[in-house]
Amino acid sequence: MEDFSVLIGGKAGFGIDKATLILGHLLNQCGYRIYIYHDYPSLIRGGHTFSIIRAAQTKIAAHRNKIELLMALNRETIDLHQARLNDGALVIYDSDAVKELVLSRQIRTLGLPVGKIVKDENAHEVMRNICMIGAFAKAIGIPMETLAKIITENFPKEVEMNVKVAERGFAAAETVKSIAPPAAEPLPLISGSQAIGLGLIKGGLQDYVAYPMTPTTPLLHFLAEQANDFSLKVIHPESEIGVMLMALGFAYAGERAAVGTSGGGFCLMTEGLSLSGMSEVPIVIVLGQRPGPSTGLPTYSGQTDLHFALNAGQGEFVRFIVAPGDLEEAYYWSAQALNLAWKYQIPAIVLTDKNLNEGIGNFDIRSVAEIPEIPPVTWEGKVPYKRYEVGESGISPLAFAPQKDAVIKVNSYEHDEFGITTEESTVTKKMQDKRLRKEKYLREELKGFRTVNTYGNDDRSTALLCWGSNKGVCRELAEKLGLKVVQPVVLSPFPEDAFRKAVGGVKKLIAVENNATGQLARLIKSYGFCADSMILKYDGRPFALDELETSVKEAIR
Protein backbone atom coordinates (compact mmCIF):
# COMPACT_ATOMS: atom_id res chain seq x y z
CA MET A 1 0.00 0.00 0.00
CA GLU A 2 1.47 3.34 -1.03
CA ASP A 3 -0.87 5.63 0.89
CA PHE A 4 -3.15 4.37 3.65
CA SER A 5 -4.76 5.50 6.88
CA VAL A 6 -5.31 3.78 10.22
CA LEU A 7 -7.88 4.97 12.74
CA ILE A 8 -7.64 3.85 16.34
CA GLY A 9 -10.38 4.82 18.78
CA GLY A 10 -11.84 4.23 22.20
CA LYS A 11 -12.75 6.02 25.40
CA ALA A 12 -10.54 8.69 26.90
CA GLY A 13 -8.34 6.81 29.36
CA PHE A 14 -7.84 3.83 27.01
CA GLY A 15 -4.31 4.98 26.13
CA ILE A 16 -5.19 6.05 22.61
CA ASP A 17 -2.47 8.72 22.45
CA LYS A 18 0.28 6.30 23.43
CA ALA A 19 -1.00 3.65 21.07
CA THR A 20 -1.10 6.25 18.29
CA LEU A 21 2.56 7.10 18.82
CA ILE A 22 3.54 3.43 18.76
CA LEU A 23 1.67 2.95 15.48
CA GLY A 24 3.29 6.06 14.04
CA HIS A 25 6.78 4.99 15.06
CA LEU A 26 6.14 1.47 13.76
CA LEU A 27 5.15 2.66 10.29
CA ASN A 28 7.90 5.28 10.33
CA GLN A 29 10.42 2.53 11.04
CA CYS A 30 9.10 0.72 7.98
CA GLY A 31 10.07 3.69 5.79
CA TYR A 32 6.74 5.50 5.45
CA ARG A 33 6.26 9.22 5.93
CA ILE A 34 3.71 9.82 8.67
CA TYR A 35 1.08 12.36 9.65
CA ILE A 36 -1.03 11.95 12.80
CA TYR A 37 -4.27 13.77 13.60
CA HIS A 38 -5.72 13.66 17.15
CA ASP A 39 -9.40 14.19 18.00
CA TYR A 40 -10.54 14.20 21.62
CA PRO A 41 -13.15 15.85 23.89
CA SER A 42 -12.29 18.06 26.85
CA LEU A 43 -12.72 15.18 29.31
CA ILE A 44 -10.16 13.35 31.44
CA ARG A 45 -12.05 10.06 31.22
CA GLY A 46 -14.99 8.96 29.12
CA GLY A 47 -16.17 10.42 25.84
CA HIS A 48 -14.75 9.25 22.55
CA THR A 49 -11.19 9.88 21.41
CA PHE A 50 -9.51 8.76 18.23
CA SER A 51 -6.47 9.33 16.07
CA ILE A 52 -5.85 8.92 12.36
CA ILE A 53 -2.37 7.78 11.38
CA ARG A 54 -1.70 8.32 7.70
CA ALA A 55 1.28 6.65 6.03
CA ALA A 56 2.51 7.62 2.56
CA GLN A 57 5.51 7.36 0.26
CA THR A 58 6.23 11.11 0.37
CA LYS A 59 6.18 13.69 3.15
CA ILE A 60 2.63 14.65 4.12
CA ALA A 61 0.99 17.06 6.55
CA ALA A 62 -2.72 16.27 6.27
CA HIS A 63 -5.10 13.42 7.03
CA ARG A 64 -7.85 11.86 4.92
CA ASN A 65 -11.37 11.08 6.10
CA LYS A 66 -11.42 7.70 4.36
CA ILE A 67 -9.43 4.92 6.01
CA GLU A 68 -8.09 1.48 5.17
CA LEU A 69 -7.77 0.09 8.69
CA LEU A 70 -9.95 0.61 11.77
CA MET A 71 -8.77 -0.47 15.22
CA ALA A 72 -11.70 -0.45 17.63
CA LEU A 73 -11.22 -0.80 21.37
CA ASN A 74 -14.98 -0.53 21.87
CA ARG A 75 -18.25 -0.76 19.97
CA GLU A 76 -18.70 3.00 19.79
CA THR A 77 -15.60 3.34 17.62
CA ILE A 78 -17.09 1.06 14.97
CA ASP A 79 -20.48 2.77 15.10
CA LEU A 80 -18.98 6.24 14.75
CA HIS A 81 -16.42 5.52 12.06
CA GLN A 82 -17.66 2.70 9.84
CA ALA A 83 -18.76 5.28 7.24
CA ARG A 84 -15.06 6.15 6.80
CA LEU A 85 -14.14 2.63 5.66
CA ASN A 86 -13.00 2.23 2.07
CA ASP A 87 -13.96 -0.89 0.17
CA GLY A 88 -11.62 -3.69 1.18
CA ALA A 89 -10.79 -2.04 4.50
CA LEU A 90 -9.87 -4.10 7.54
CA VAL A 91 -11.50 -3.76 10.97
CA ILE A 92 -9.52 -5.07 13.93
CA TYR A 93 -11.68 -5.22 17.04
CA ASP A 94 -11.92 -6.55 20.56
CA SER A 95 -14.27 -9.52 20.30
CA ASP A 96 -14.77 -9.42 24.07
CA ALA A 97 -16.21 -5.89 23.78
CA VAL A 98 -18.00 -6.25 20.41
CA LYS A 99 -20.18 -9.35 20.34
CA GLU A 100 -21.98 -8.80 17.05
CA LEU A 101 -20.52 -7.08 14.02
CA VAL A 102 -22.49 -6.37 10.87
CA LEU A 103 -20.56 -4.61 8.08
CA SER A 104 -20.71 -4.62 4.30
CA ARG A 105 -19.28 -7.63 2.48
CA GLN A 106 -16.35 -5.60 1.16
CA ILE A 107 -15.03 -5.04 4.70
CA ARG A 108 -12.71 -7.61 6.23
CA THR A 109 -12.77 -8.18 9.98
CA LEU A 110 -10.30 -9.52 12.51
CA GLY A 111 -11.61 -10.08 16.01
CA LEU A 112 -9.44 -11.14 18.90
CA PRO A 113 -10.20 -11.69 22.60
CA VAL A 114 -8.27 -8.70 23.88
CA GLY A 115 -9.88 -8.68 27.30
CA LYS A 116 -9.11 -12.36 27.87
CA ILE A 117 -5.48 -11.99 26.74
CA VAL A 118 -4.89 -9.06 29.08
CA LYS A 119 -6.52 -10.93 31.95
CA ASP A 120 -4.53 -14.13 31.26
CA GLU A 121 -1.26 -12.18 31.36
CA ASN A 122 -2.31 -10.32 34.51
CA ALA A 123 -1.58 -7.10 32.63
CA HIS A 124 -2.98 -3.62 33.17
CA GLU A 125 -6.30 -2.93 31.48
CA VAL A 126 -4.74 -0.09 29.47
CA MET A 127 -2.50 -2.66 27.74
CA ARG A 128 -5.47 -3.72 25.63
CA ASN A 129 -4.19 -1.16 23.12
CA ILE A 130 -0.76 -2.80 22.79
CA CYS A 131 -2.44 -6.18 22.29
CA MET A 132 -4.34 -4.76 19.33
CA ILE A 133 -1.15 -3.21 17.95
CA GLY A 134 0.39 -6.68 17.98
CA ALA A 135 -2.55 -7.89 15.89
CA PHE A 136 -2.18 -4.89 13.59
CA ALA A 137 1.48 -5.69 12.94
CA LYS A 138 0.68 -9.30 12.06
CA ALA A 139 -2.27 -8.27 9.88
CA ILE A 140 -0.19 -6.03 7.60
CA GLY A 141 2.98 -8.12 7.56
CA ILE A 142 5.28 -6.26 9.97
CA PRO A 143 7.62 -8.65 11.86
CA MET A 144 7.17 -8.96 15.62
CA GLU A 145 10.87 -8.11 16.03
CA THR A 146 10.25 -4.64 14.56
CA LEU A 147 7.32 -4.03 16.89
CA ALA A 148 9.28 -5.25 19.92
CA LYS A 149 12.04 -2.77 19.07
CA ILE A 150 9.56 0.12 18.91
CA ILE A 151 7.93 -0.89 22.20
CA THR A 152 11.32 -1.12 23.92
CA GLU A 153 12.29 2.36 22.70
CA ASN A 154 9.01 3.99 23.72
CA PHE A 155 8.06 2.45 27.06
CA PRO A 156 10.20 3.48 30.05
CA LYS A 157 8.42 0.98 32.33
CA GLU A 158 7.06 -2.57 32.10
CA VAL A 159 8.69 -3.16 28.74
CA GLU A 160 8.63 -6.96 29.06
CA MET A 161 4.93 -7.04 29.90
CA ASN A 162 4.06 -4.76 26.97
CA VAL A 163 6.08 -6.91 24.58
CA LYS A 164 4.47 -10.09 25.93
CA VAL A 165 0.95 -8.72 25.48
CA ALA A 166 1.83 -7.54 21.96
CA GLU A 167 3.16 -11.03 21.15
CA ARG A 168 -0.15 -12.55 22.27
CA GLY A 169 -2.04 -10.18 19.98
CA PHE A 170 0.39 -10.95 17.16
CA ALA A 171 -0.10 -14.70 17.60
CA ALA A 172 -3.90 -14.40 17.68
CA ALA A 173 -4.03 -12.55 14.33
CA GLU A 174 -3.43 -13.47 10.71
CA THR A 175 -1.74 -11.66 7.85
CA VAL A 176 -4.41 -9.96 5.74
CA LYS A 177 -2.54 -7.28 3.79
CA SER A 178 1.08 -6.79 2.77
CA ILE A 179 2.15 -3.18 3.01
CA ALA A 180 5.34 -3.52 0.87
CA PRO A 181 6.93 -0.51 2.59
CA PRO A 182 9.24 1.92 0.78
CA ALA A 183 12.97 1.82 1.35
CA ALA A 184 13.25 5.31 2.86
CA GLU A 185 15.22 6.16 5.97
CA PRO A 186 13.08 6.96 9.01
CA LEU A 187 12.88 10.61 9.99
CA PRO A 188 12.15 11.83 13.54
CA LEU A 189 8.47 12.01 14.45
CA ILE A 190 7.69 15.14 16.45
CA SER A 191 4.73 17.40 17.17
CA GLY A 192 4.37 21.05 16.27
CA SER A 193 4.78 21.95 19.95
CA GLN A 194 8.09 20.13 20.05
CA ALA A 195 9.22 21.89 16.85
CA ILE A 196 8.32 25.26 18.36
CA GLY A 197 10.13 24.38 21.58
CA LEU A 198 13.27 23.32 19.73
CA GLY A 199 13.14 26.51 17.68
CA LEU A 200 12.87 28.67 20.78
CA ILE A 201 15.87 26.88 22.26
CA LYS A 202 17.77 27.43 19.00
CA GLY A 203 16.89 31.13 19.25
CA GLY A 204 18.50 31.35 22.69
CA LEU A 205 15.50 30.84 24.99
CA GLN A 206 16.39 31.11 28.67
CA ASP A 207 12.98 31.38 30.35
CA TYR A 208 9.60 29.92 29.40
CA VAL A 209 6.58 31.00 31.43
CA ALA A 210 3.09 29.61 30.84
CA TYR A 211 -0.22 28.73 32.41
CA PRO A 212 -1.55 25.42 30.98
CA MET A 213 -4.05 26.04 28.21
CA THR A 214 -4.84 23.83 25.24
CA PRO A 215 -3.29 23.72 22.66
CA THR A 216 0.01 25.10 24.02
CA THR A 217 0.12 22.93 27.16
CA PRO A 218 2.26 20.29 25.37
CA LEU A 219 4.85 23.01 24.69
CA LEU A 220 5.00 23.75 28.43
CA HIS A 221 5.45 20.05 29.20
CA PHE A 222 8.10 19.59 26.50
CA LEU A 223 10.22 22.54 27.62
CA ALA A 224 9.92 21.44 31.25
CA GLU A 225 11.35 18.06 30.20
CA GLN A 226 14.24 19.80 28.44
CA ALA A 227 14.93 22.33 31.19
CA ASN A 228 17.92 20.61 32.76
CA ASP A 229 19.61 19.81 29.45
CA PHE A 230 19.39 23.40 28.19
CA SER A 231 19.59 25.35 31.47
CA LEU A 232 16.07 26.67 31.05
CA LYS A 233 13.83 28.17 33.68
CA VAL A 234 10.32 26.82 33.02
CA ILE A 235 7.70 28.33 35.31
CA HIS A 236 3.95 27.88 35.79
CA PRO A 237 2.58 30.98 37.61
CA GLU A 238 -0.90 31.48 39.00
CA SER A 239 -2.47 33.18 35.96
CA GLU A 240 -1.79 34.47 32.47
CA ILE A 241 -1.42 37.98 33.90
CA GLY A 242 1.36 36.68 36.12
CA VAL A 243 2.83 34.80 33.16
CA MET A 244 3.23 37.91 31.03
CA LEU A 245 4.56 40.17 33.77
CA MET A 246 7.04 37.59 35.01
CA ALA A 247 8.36 37.00 31.48
CA LEU A 248 8.76 40.75 30.93
CA GLY A 249 10.69 40.89 34.20
CA PHE A 250 13.07 38.23 32.92
CA ALA A 251 13.52 40.17 29.66
CA TYR A 252 14.22 43.42 31.56
CA ALA A 253 17.00 41.50 33.33
CA GLY A 254 18.48 40.51 29.96
CA GLU A 255 17.15 36.96 29.55
CA ARG A 256 15.35 35.78 26.44
CA ALA A 257 11.83 34.84 27.52
CA ALA A 258 8.74 33.42 25.84
CA VAL A 259 5.21 32.68 26.97
CA GLY A 260 2.55 30.31 25.67
CA THR A 261 -1.21 30.58 25.73
CA SER A 262 -4.47 30.37 23.78
CA GLY A 263 -7.16 32.96 23.09
CA GLY A 264 -8.63 33.23 26.58
CA GLY A 265 -5.21 33.53 28.19
CA PHE A 266 -4.07 36.02 25.56
CA CYS A 267 -7.04 38.21 26.54
CA LEU A 268 -5.48 38.51 29.99
CA MET A 269 -2.04 39.19 28.52
CA THR A 270 -3.03 42.14 26.33
CA GLU A 271 -2.22 44.82 28.91
CA GLY A 272 1.21 43.22 29.28
CA LEU A 273 1.49 43.19 25.50
CA SER A 274 0.95 46.95 25.48
CA LEU A 275 3.50 47.26 28.28
CA SER A 276 6.01 45.51 26.03
CA GLY A 277 5.16 47.94 23.22
CA MET A 278 5.61 51.07 25.37
CA SER A 279 8.54 49.90 27.50
CA GLU A 280 10.29 48.30 24.49
CA VAL A 281 10.97 45.13 26.47
CA PRO A 282 11.07 42.20 24.00
CA ILE A 283 8.81 39.18 24.45
CA VAL A 284 7.74 36.19 22.35
CA ILE A 285 4.17 34.91 22.67
CA VAL A 286 3.19 31.50 21.32
CA LEU A 287 -0.53 31.90 20.64
CA GLY A 288 -2.23 28.57 19.92
CA GLN A 289 -5.64 29.12 18.36
CA ARG A 290 -8.81 27.19 19.09
CA PRO A 291 -12.48 28.00 18.39
CA GLY A 292 -14.13 30.72 20.47
CA PRO A 293 -15.68 32.93 21.60
CA SER A 294 -14.93 32.35 25.28
CA THR A 295 -14.14 28.72 26.13
CA GLY A 296 -15.54 27.62 22.76
CA LEU A 297 -14.19 24.20 21.81
CA PRO A 298 -11.15 23.92 24.08
CA THR A 299 -9.66 20.77 22.53
CA TYR A 300 -10.29 21.58 18.88
CA SER A 301 -8.64 23.77 16.25
CA GLY A 302 -9.33 27.07 14.56
CA GLN A 303 -7.77 30.08 12.85
CA THR A 304 -9.89 32.67 14.60
CA ASP A 305 -7.38 34.96 16.33
CA LEU A 306 -5.50 36.58 13.45
CA HIS A 307 -7.13 39.99 13.80
CA PHE A 308 -7.02 39.69 17.59
CA ALA A 309 -3.24 39.25 17.39
CA LEU A 310 -2.93 42.08 14.87
CA ASN A 311 -4.86 44.56 17.01
CA ALA A 312 -4.50 43.40 20.63
CA GLY A 313 -3.47 45.98 23.18
CA GLN A 314 -4.21 49.67 23.55
CA GLY A 315 -2.35 52.24 21.54
CA GLU A 316 -0.20 51.85 18.44
CA PHE A 317 3.04 49.89 18.44
CA VAL A 318 5.07 47.64 16.18
CA ARG A 319 4.67 43.89 16.50
CA PHE A 320 6.02 40.93 14.59
CA ILE A 321 3.54 38.15 13.82
CA VAL A 322 4.41 34.91 12.06
CA ALA A 323 2.15 31.92 11.33
CA PRO A 324 4.25 28.81 10.52
CA GLY A 325 2.59 26.15 8.40
CA ASP A 326 4.53 22.98 9.21
CA LEU A 327 7.12 21.51 11.55
CA GLU A 328 10.14 22.95 9.78
CA GLU A 329 8.63 26.45 9.65
CA ALA A 330 7.58 26.16 13.30
CA TYR A 331 11.18 25.44 14.24
CA TYR A 332 12.71 28.12 12.01
CA TRP A 333 10.33 30.97 12.74
CA SER A 334 10.18 30.37 16.50
CA ALA A 335 13.93 30.92 16.60
CA GLN A 336 13.69 33.98 14.38
CA ALA A 337 10.83 35.41 16.46
CA LEU A 338 13.17 35.52 19.44
CA ASN A 339 15.97 37.01 17.36
CA LEU A 340 13.79 39.74 15.83
CA ALA A 341 11.98 40.55 19.07
CA TRP A 342 15.31 41.20 20.73
CA LYS A 343 16.86 43.12 17.88
CA TYR A 344 13.90 45.47 17.52
CA GLN A 345 12.79 45.37 21.19
CA ILE A 346 9.20 44.56 20.29
CA PRO A 347 6.66 41.83 21.05
CA ALA A 348 6.64 38.91 18.62
CA ILE A 349 3.75 36.48 18.24
CA VAL A 350 4.09 32.95 16.88
CA LEU A 351 0.52 32.31 15.75
CA THR A 352 -0.28 28.60 15.68
CA ASP A 353 -3.34 26.38 16.07
CA LYS A 354 -4.25 23.10 17.71
CA ASN A 355 -3.84 21.27 14.42
CA LEU A 356 -0.20 22.35 14.17
CA ASN A 357 0.61 22.21 17.88
CA GLU A 358 -0.65 18.65 18.38
CA GLY A 359 -0.26 17.23 14.87
CA ILE A 360 2.67 14.83 14.53
CA GLY A 361 4.79 14.26 11.46
CA ASN A 362 8.28 13.68 10.12
CA PHE A 363 10.75 16.46 10.83
CA ASP A 364 13.59 16.97 8.36
CA ILE A 365 16.18 19.36 9.77
CA ARG A 366 18.04 19.23 6.45
CA SER A 367 15.30 21.24 4.77
CA VAL A 368 15.50 24.10 7.29
CA ALA A 369 17.41 27.20 6.26
CA GLU A 370 20.35 28.29 8.36
CA ILE A 371 19.35 30.32 11.41
CA PRO A 372 22.03 32.94 11.99
CA GLU A 373 22.29 34.61 15.37
CA ILE A 374 20.88 38.14 15.30
CA PRO A 375 22.41 39.97 18.26
CA PRO A 376 20.56 42.85 19.90
CA VAL A 377 21.95 46.38 19.93
CA THR A 378 23.74 46.80 23.27
CA TRP A 379 25.10 49.78 25.17
CA GLU A 380 28.79 50.55 24.62
CA GLY A 381 29.27 52.38 27.93
CA LYS A 382 28.77 55.97 26.79
CA VAL A 383 27.42 57.93 29.75
CA PRO A 384 24.89 59.02 30.68
CA TYR A 385 22.91 55.93 29.66
CA LYS A 386 19.69 56.66 27.80
CA ARG A 387 17.42 53.61 27.83
CA TYR A 388 15.27 55.14 25.07
CA GLU A 389 17.93 56.96 23.09
CA VAL A 390 16.48 58.24 19.83
CA GLY A 391 18.40 57.04 16.80
CA GLU A 392 17.87 56.65 13.08
CA SER A 393 16.34 53.17 13.31
CA GLY A 394 14.38 53.73 16.52
CA ILE A 395 16.33 50.95 18.24
CA SER A 396 17.92 52.05 21.51
CA PRO A 397 21.06 50.35 22.94
CA LEU A 398 20.22 47.83 25.66
CA ALA A 399 21.82 47.59 29.08
CA PHE A 400 20.86 45.21 31.88
CA ALA A 401 20.94 45.64 35.63
CA PRO A 402 23.28 45.76 37.50
CA GLN A 403 25.49 47.16 34.73
CA LYS A 404 27.93 49.79 35.98
CA ASP A 405 27.09 53.44 35.25
CA ALA A 406 23.69 52.56 33.77
CA VAL A 407 20.43 53.63 35.37
CA ILE A 408 18.00 51.41 33.50
CA LYS A 409 14.51 52.81 33.81
CA VAL A 410 11.68 51.24 31.82
CA ASN A 411 8.30 52.90 31.86
CA SER A 412 4.72 52.12 30.90
CA TYR A 413 3.95 55.85 30.83
CA GLU A 414 5.07 58.00 27.95
CA HIS A 415 8.64 58.99 28.72
CA ASP A 416 11.74 60.76 27.49
CA GLU A 417 15.02 59.18 26.40
CA PHE A 418 16.03 58.49 30.01
CA GLY A 419 12.73 56.75 30.78
CA ILE A 420 11.40 59.65 32.84
CA THR A 421 7.62 60.09 32.64
CA THR A 422 6.43 62.97 30.45
CA GLU A 423 3.21 64.41 29.10
CA GLU A 424 4.95 67.10 27.04
CA SER A 425 3.55 67.15 23.50
CA THR A 426 6.77 67.43 21.50
CA VAL A 427 8.48 64.65 23.49
CA THR A 428 5.39 62.45 23.16
CA LYS A 429 5.44 62.79 19.38
CA LYS A 430 9.20 62.28 19.22
CA MET A 431 9.08 59.04 21.23
CA GLN A 432 6.07 57.65 19.38
CA ASP A 433 7.78 58.34 16.05
CA LYS A 434 10.90 56.61 17.40
CA ARG A 435 8.99 53.44 18.32
CA LEU A 436 7.02 53.28 15.07
CA ARG A 437 10.15 53.92 12.99
CA LYS A 438 11.33 50.40 13.80
CA GLU A 439 8.74 48.97 11.41
CA LYS A 440 10.48 50.47 8.38
CA TYR A 441 13.74 48.73 9.24
CA LEU A 442 12.01 45.49 10.22
CA ARG A 443 10.21 45.44 6.86
CA GLU A 444 13.49 45.94 5.07
CA GLU A 445 15.21 43.16 6.98
CA LEU A 446 12.32 40.77 6.33
CA LYS A 447 12.94 41.11 2.58
CA GLY A 448 15.85 38.74 3.17
CA PHE A 449 13.46 36.05 4.48
CA ARG A 450 10.90 33.86 2.73
CA THR A 451 7.90 35.70 4.10
CA VAL A 452 5.51 34.38 1.42
CA ASN A 453 5.77 30.85 0.03
CA THR A 454 4.41 29.52 -3.24
CA TYR A 455 3.96 25.87 -4.17
CA GLY A 456 2.45 23.78 -6.91
CA ASN A 457 2.13 24.95 -10.50
CA ASP A 458 3.39 28.55 -10.71
CA ASP A 459 1.96 28.88 -14.22
CA ARG A 460 -1.63 28.22 -13.18
CA SER A 461 -3.99 31.17 -12.93
CA THR A 462 -5.94 29.54 -10.08
CA ALA A 463 -4.35 29.56 -6.64
CA LEU A 464 -5.26 28.47 -3.12
CA LEU A 465 -4.56 31.10 -0.48
CA CYS A 466 -3.80 29.65 2.95
CA TRP A 467 -2.00 30.34 6.21
CA GLY A 468 -0.87 28.33 9.20
CA SER A 469 -1.47 24.59 9.30
CA ASN A 470 -3.62 24.63 6.15
CA LYS A 471 -0.34 24.72 4.23
CA GLY A 472 -0.04 20.91 4.30
CA VAL A 473 -3.48 20.05 2.95
CA CYS A 474 -3.45 22.87 0.37
CA ARG A 475 0.01 22.01 -0.90
CA GLU A 476 -0.77 18.32 -1.37
CA LEU A 477 -4.10 19.03 -3.05
CA ALA A 478 -2.58 21.65 -5.35
CA GLU A 479 0.03 19.18 -6.53
CA LYS A 480 -2.72 16.66 -7.28
CA LEU A 481 -4.95 19.13 -9.14
CA GLY A 482 -2.20 21.18 -10.79
CA LEU A 483 -2.97 24.39 -8.87
CA LYS A 484 -0.80 27.02 -7.24
CA VAL A 485 -0.57 27.72 -3.49
CA VAL A 486 0.17 31.12 -1.95
CA GLN A 487 1.05 31.03 1.75
CA PRO A 488 2.00 34.23 3.59
CA VAL A 489 4.02 33.23 6.66
CA VAL A 490 4.75 36.66 8.08
CA LEU A 491 1.50 38.53 8.77
CA SER A 492 2.83 41.66 10.52
CA PRO A 493 4.39 43.72 9.16
CA PHE A 494 2.56 42.36 6.13
CA PRO A 495 5.01 41.60 3.26
CA GLU A 496 3.08 43.51 0.62
CA ASP A 497 5.74 43.39 -2.12
CA ALA A 498 6.42 39.66 -1.69
CA PHE A 499 2.69 38.92 -1.69
CA ARG A 500 2.12 40.97 -4.85
CA LYS A 501 4.84 38.98 -6.59
CA ALA A 502 3.38 35.68 -5.34
CA VAL A 503 -0.10 36.39 -6.73
CA GLY A 504 1.18 37.79 -10.02
CA GLY A 505 -0.67 36.10 -12.88
CA VAL A 506 -3.32 34.63 -10.58
CA LYS A 507 -6.82 35.31 -11.91
CA LYS A 508 -8.75 33.29 -9.33
CA LEU A 509 -7.64 33.28 -5.70
CA ILE A 510 -9.46 30.87 -3.37
CA ALA A 511 -8.99 31.47 0.35
CA VAL A 512 -8.93 28.32 2.48
CA GLU A 513 -9.34 29.10 6.18
CA ASN A 514 -10.53 27.57 9.46
CA ASN A 515 -12.74 30.46 10.53
CA ALA A 516 -16.18 31.80 9.69
CA THR A 517 -15.26 35.22 8.31
CA GLY A 518 -12.18 34.75 6.11
CA GLN A 519 -9.69 36.55 8.33
CA LEU A 520 -6.70 36.33 5.98
CA ALA A 521 -8.93 37.38 3.07
CA ARG A 522 -9.91 40.45 5.10
CA LEU A 523 -6.27 41.21 5.87
CA ILE A 524 -5.10 41.10 2.26
CA LYS A 525 -8.08 43.22 1.22
CA SER A 526 -6.73 46.05 3.36
CA TYR A 527 -3.64 46.00 1.12
CA GLY A 528 -5.63 46.06 -2.13
CA PHE A 529 -5.74 42.30 -2.84
CA CYS A 530 -8.95 40.34 -3.20
CA ALA A 531 -9.86 36.69 -2.71
CA ASP A 532 -12.34 35.67 -5.42
CA SER A 533 -13.95 32.98 -3.28
CA MET A 534 -13.56 31.41 0.13
CA ILE A 535 -13.70 27.86 1.47
CA LEU A 536 -14.28 28.18 5.20
CA LYS A 537 -14.48 25.44 7.82
CA TYR A 538 -15.21 26.41 11.41
CA ASP A 539 -16.46 23.32 13.26
CA GLY A 540 -13.18 22.91 15.13
CA ARG A 541 -11.86 20.21 12.79
CA PRO A 542 -9.14 20.81 10.21
CA PHE A 543 -9.65 20.15 6.51
CA ALA A 544 -9.19 16.53 5.50
CA LEU A 545 -7.54 16.07 2.11
CA ASP A 546 -10.50 14.33 0.45
CA GLU A 547 -12.96 16.80 1.98
CA LEU A 548 -11.07 19.85 0.70
CA GLU A 549 -10.68 18.29 -2.74
CA THR A 550 -14.46 18.18 -3.14
CA SER A 551 -14.83 21.83 -2.11
CA VAL A 552 -12.01 23.06 -4.35
CA LYS A 553 -13.36 21.23 -7.39
CA GLU A 554 -16.71 22.95 -6.85
CA ALA A 555 -15.00 26.34 -6.51
CA ILE A 556 -13.04 26.04 -9.77
CA ARG A 557 -15.87 24.82 -11.98
Q: Which residues of the chain form CATH 3.40.50.970?
A: 187-449
Q: What is the mean pLDDT of residues 359-370?
A: 96
Question: What mean pLDDT is reported for the chain?
Answer: 96
Homologous superfamily of 3-172: Pyruvate-ferredoxin oxidoreductase, PFOR, domain III (3.40.920.10)
CB proximity list for 100: less than 8 A, separation 6 or greater: none
Considering the domain 452-555, what is its CATH architecture? 3-Layer(aba) Sandwich (3.40)
Task: Of 80-84, 104-108, 228-232, 340-344, give the lowest mean pLDDT range.
Answer: 104-108
Considering the domain 187-449, what is its CATH architecture? 3-Layer(aba) Sandwich (3.40)
Q: Which residues of the chain form CATH 3.40.50.920?
A: 452-555
Which of 358, 473, 514 has its CA nearest to residue 38?
Answer: 358
Whole-angstrom CA distances from 29 to 139, 145, 146, 147, 182 are: 17, 12, 8, 9, 10
DSSP string, 45-78: SEEEEEEEEEEESS------S-EEEEEESSHHHH
Whole-angstrom CA distances from 225 to 220, 221, 354, 408 are: 9, 6, 21, 34
Q: What is the mean pLDDT of residues 267-291?
A: 98
Residue 369: is its pLDDT beyond 90?
yes
Give CA–CA dist 155/159, Å, rounded: 6
With b meaning 16 or more CB within 10 Å and e meaning fewer, what string describes 479-495?
eebebbbbbbbbbbbbb
Q: Which residues of the chain form CATH 3.40.920.10?
A: 3-172
Give CA–CA dist 495/485, Å, rounded: 16
Q: What is the mean pLDDT of residues 351-364?
A: 97
Question: What are 398-454's pLDDT values in tens digits?
Answer: 999 999 999 999 999 999 999 999 999 999 999 999 999 999 999 999 999 999 999
With b meaning 16 or more CB within 10 Å and e meaning fewer, what string describes 248-274?
bebbbebebbbbbbbbbbbebbbebbb
- Residue spans of beta strands (DSSP E) within 58-204: 67-72, 85-94, 108-112, 189-191
Question: What is the pTM (predicted TM-score) of this model?
Answer: 0.96
